[in-house]
Amino acid sequence: MKIALLLLWCGGVGAADSMLHSVWSPTTDNCSLASAPATAKFKVSVDRTVNLQALSQMNLADAGHGFAFPNGNVQVKVSYGANISKALRSSDGGSTWSVVPQQAPPFATRTSSEFGQNSFATSWGEVLSITGFGDHVRAKPAGIKPPSANGSIAAEMLVSTDNGLTMTSRTALLYLPSALKLSNMAHAGMVELKDGSLLSYSYAHWEGIDGFTVHWPTYPKTGLPKDRTFVMRSIDRGLSFHYLSTVVFDSSNNTRNCVLTSDPHGSNPACTVQEGFNEPFLSALPHPGATGGLMLQMIMRTGGSQATSDPNGVVHGPMLRSFSMDAGKTWGIAQAVADRGVTPTAVMAGNVHVVSYGRPADWLMFSADGGVSYSPWCYHDGGGSRYDGSNYNSVVLLPRGDSDAENAFRLMASYYNGSVMALFFTVTVAPQ
């Protein structure tokens, strides 16, 4: 696949320069549980798969969003629309599951614990999750409300101090440039820096700068606004966030020409739509040369919608990643790291960075060199129907058991195939 995109670098690159090189190539959809990668630095083995939908009788054909609480409890939340959700919880590393109670009327269609893949456990004992909506009622039309008179945008923040058994809702105030047109925060996770500040992130269209997608049959003739990925910082434990930096954007304003061309394997159509940079996920990776000893890596979707309508399952737009060595103030050049990918999530299994992504099919990829290069694994061919929300997968690190080897890390990937499935697997890291 050839990338003809104009990727703009925002700020200095510094020590990240030496890490940025071509590590991506098109892959084929030879999906099998038996094809888990094994390298000299780590090996991946499959433990079992579980049908979570059958356990919970969820009757929701959507992906399950997993999260591990500080006490080791694991939860999978399934949402479908703004006001429909259910959840399962396990207190024994996924061996057994119980259904989380629903909320009281008039919100009986929603689970009483809505913590999922973008939730974050802080050092001060709170679990936080930005829901992506303006308030807990989620009156239609759902989404972020316009800025108030002082320029702040109100977003709903869910809070728990008892590992998700109960939750409260409060407002987080976002202070962004007025031209940055934010519509939702549904993929806004968080990381905590060594100084106790929080970084969160999302995507939006910067009016007057960001371009527009080329036209294709299901889009308006004028195209749609392209997104940029940006970062916000909070120094008051998530009560407010202020714009910090843009990770990457495309200012080409391309409304006619193709922005990607097909590779020899036909992984992409000859002319494709490029969405900008959205559905990001931020990881903090250990690095001695970075501020506070943490290098930040942002992984972003650039395409995926066309795969929902094409019967051949073609996908356009590789998944990109960018590094920051200075706590998110500046970012290196964004580069393709996989040939596809919607709603990536990631965890550390020892020194191995594990990333979940999908569409078409369900994928994991593994890096033992700090997110520079990855070994991809298509473990399931996807199945079921495709829509803009399918194959929204997630991965969580499970609590350690008494019998676990020191270099073995157990994980769970929740994924979609017309049901809600969970893949349990182990990453065994070679001795250092």
For 107-127, the pLDDT digits (tens) are 888 899 999 989 999 999 999
In this prediction, what percent of the chain has a pLDDT beyond 70? 75
pLDDT at position 152 over 50:
yes
Top-ranked range on mean pLDDT: pick from 55-64, 247-256, 363-372: 363-372
Where residue 4 falls among pLDDT bands split at 50, 70, 90? very low
State whether residue 16 is helix, strand or coil: helix
pLDDT at position 216 over 60:
no
pLDDT at 56: 65
pLDDT at 132: 74
Q: Which residue has the higher pLDDT, 388 or 270?
A: 388
Where residue 149 falls among pLDDT bands split at 50, 70, 90? confident
pLDDT at 432: 77
Top-ranked range on mean pLDDT: pick from 202-216, 318-332, 413-427: 318-332
Where residue 148 falls among pLDDT bands split at 50, 70, 90? confident
Cβ–Cβ < 8 Å for 355, 299: yes
Does the N-terminal peptide bond of residue 217 adopt cis geometry, omega within 30 degrees of 0?
Answer: no
Q: Which residue has the higher pLDDT, 396 or 13?
A: 396
Cβ–Cβ < 8 Å for 100, 75: yes
Under CATH, which architecture does the 2-429 domain have?
6 Propeller (2.120)
CA 177 to chain centre: 24
Residue 431 amino acid letter: P
Nearest residue to 319 via CA among 270, 371, 271: 371
How far is Cα 214 from Cα 7, in angstroms, rounded to an integer?
17
How far is Cα 67 from Cα 112, in angstroms, rounded to an integer?
15
Mean pLDDT of the region 75-97: 85
The predicted-structure confidence for 75-85, as pLDDT tens digits, reads as follows 998 876 667 78
Mean pLDDT of the region 86-94: 92
**Residue ranges of domains in the chain:** 2-429
pLDDT at 212: 78
DSSP string of 336-403, one letter each residue: EEES--EEEEEEEETTEEEEEEESSSEEEEEESSSSSS-EEEEEE---S---TTTT--EEEEPPPPTT
pLDDT at 18: 31
Nearest residue to 13 via CA among 295, 412, 304: 295
Cβ–Cβ < 8 Å for 374, 389: no
pLDDT at position 428 over 50:
yes
In this prediction, what percent of the chain has a pLDDT beyond 90? 51
The residue assigned the tokens 């494709």 is 272
Where residue 7 falls among pLDDT bands split at 50, 70, 90? very low
State whether residue 306 is helix, strand or coil: helix
CA angle 319, 323, 325 (to 5 degrees): 170
Q: Which residue has the higher pLDDT, 184 or 393?
A: 393
Where residue 262 falls among pLDDT bands split at 50, 70, 90? very low
Residue 233 amino acid letter: R
Nearest residue to 72 via CA among 404, 420, 391, 423: 404
Helix and strand counts by DSSP (H, E) for the chain? 1, 27
The residue assigned the tokens 């990727």 is 7
pLDDT at position 141 over 60:
no
Does the N-terminal peptide bond of residue 360 adopt cis geometry, omega within 30 degrees of 0?
Answer: yes
How far is Cα 298 from Cα 355, in angstroms, rounded to an integer?
11
pLDDT at 332: 93
Q: Record the tokens describing residue 228, joined without a space.
A: 């940029």
Q: Record the tokens describing residue 170, joined without a space.
A: 């409060």
Phi, psi of 420 (to 5 degrees): -115, 110
> Residue 302, exposed/middle/buried by CB under 10 A (0-12, 13-18, 19+)?
buried
What is the CB-side half-sphere exposure of residue 58 using CA atoms within 13 A? Answer: 30
The residue assigned the tokens 């969580």 is 396
How far is Cα 316 from Cα 326, in angstroms, rounded to an integer?
32
How far is Cα 113 from Cα 158, in angstroms, rounded to an integer?
9
Mean pLDDT of the region 370-393: 82
Least confident window among 15-19, 313-317, 399-403? 15-19
Helix (H) or strand (E) holding 55: helix 52-56
Do the bridges between strand 278-286 and strand 190-192 make them parallel or antiparallel, or are there none, so unpaired? unpaired
The predicted-structure confidence for 333-356, as pLDDT tens digits, reads as follows 888 888 888 999 999 999 999 999
Q: Which residue has the higher pLDDT, 8 or 364?
A: 364
Do the bridges between strand 375-380 and strand 294-301 make them parallel or antiparallel, or are there none, so unpaired? unpaired
pLDDT at 78: 83
Helix (H) or strand (E) holding 54: helix 52-56
pTM over 0.85: yes
pLDDT at position 26 over 60:
no
Average pLDDT, whole number, for the chain? Answer: 82
User: 342 CB contacts (<8 Å, ≥6 apart)?
Assistant: 279, 301, 304, 357, 358, 359, 391, 392
pLDDT at position 213 over 80:
no
Buried b (16+ CB within 10 A) or exposed e, 113-133: bbbbbbbbbbeeeebbbbbbb
